[in-house]
Amino acid sequence: MTSSLSLTRRGALGTLAALGAASAFAQGTSTVRIGYQKSSTLIVVLKTQGTLERQLAPLGVKPSWHEFTSGLPLLEALNLDNLDFSADVADTVPVFAQAAGAQLTFVAQEAPSPAAQAILVREDSPIKTLADLKGKKIGFAKAAGAHYLLIAALDKAGLSLKDIEPAYLTPADGRAAFEKGAIDAWVVWDPFLAAAQRQSKVRVLADGTGIASYQRYYLASTKFATARADVLGVIYAELAKAGQWVKANPKDAAALLAPVWGIDAATVEQANARRSYAVRPASLDVIGEQQKIADAFFAEKLLPRKIDALASPLFKPGAGA
């Protein structure tokens, strides 16, 4: 199956419709359009605290916020010029956008968090090893980090996606399908992973340790990055500070995020403990796994063409701040 970043979920379509036909951001425009997911912890912290409203005000800029169900529709919105900046998406997602011809700039990266995503089975499941996944129906979000984790885990067991029955599901739909037994295994990331572990009888078949490093990226449209490096400089600096604060103050961070995410603080704290939240500049040294991911998706015929995953521009923090 090939992919061209087509939206398949009603929620994602609704989000794009709500965004409307927004014009391209140019020098002097007063709004930076920011897309994020529920799992975009650091951006959610900044949004909840009103930090970017304060820090961007001296530049005459204010943020507008747009929530998405997963990374794939988020980067499609960026590609369609309906967003200027994308909060963190899993390392798999940019390769789909690049294959669709998106003009993206890598702004920042979070250091690896391999245990923050996992393959779950029910506690009483007969599935004991990765090899036991053969012939099973497995739910996961298309193009998410969970998708690559599944590909890499199957490869480790001598299998491929052709050996399982894939079910492309958002985290919410995946949880519902998993709990009613409609799928045999579910591949998901935090905080959805932690919520399932604490609220349901589940077992981790494998997480990303030794399989997929799970790095998350912050991106901007190249048009926006060229026009407003000053704005990106402020956003980068505040993300780095937020990451340090979340790790240094786990209980306070959990208390802040719990009502926003609609889950209890203990679950948030468990999820946050598995994420690095170490924001650093994107560089060729740290994004090297991108090509491996792109090649794996191309081999599975999930990308329409082979791509150079390292060809997109890299933002240099401080250059325009």
Give the residue among 240, 220, 137 at the shortest CA–CA distance from 186: 137
DSSP 8-state secondary structure symbol assigned to residue 314: B
Which domain does 24 fall in, by range? 10-113+215-299
The two structure tokens encoding residue 314: 């890299």
DSSP 8-state secondary structure symbol assigned to residue 149: H
Residues 266, 171: one domain?
no
* Angle between helix 171-179 and helix 192-199 axes, rounded to 10 deg: 20
Residues 55, 74: one domain?
yes
C-alpha 30, offset from chain centre: 27
Residue 69 covered by a domain: yes
Residues 280, 201: one domain?
no
Residue 308 covered by a domain: no
Helices (H) and strands (E) in the chain, counts: 13, 11
CA distance 73 to 188: 17
pLDDT reported for residue 39: 84
Final residue in a domain of this structure, among 207, 236, 257: 207
Total structural domains within the chain = 2
User: Alpha-carbon torsion 8, 14, 15, 18, what sign?
Assistant: positive
Residues 186, 129: one domain?
yes
pLDDT reported for residue 319: 56
pLDDT reported for residue 69: 87
Residues 127, 222: one domain?
no
Instruction: Look at the pTM and tell me if it is higher than 0.85.
Output: no
Q: Which residues of the chain have pLDDT under 50?
A: 1-28, 320-321
**Nearest 10 degrees: Cα torsion 79, 80, 83, 84:** 50
Which residues 6+ apart lie within 8 Å of 211 measured at CB?
Answer: 114, 149, 152, 153, 156
Give the residue among 118, 293, 110 at the shortest CA–CA distance from 189: 118
pLDDT reported for residue 259: 95
Residues 86, 157: one domain?
no
CATH of the domain at 192: 3.40.190.10
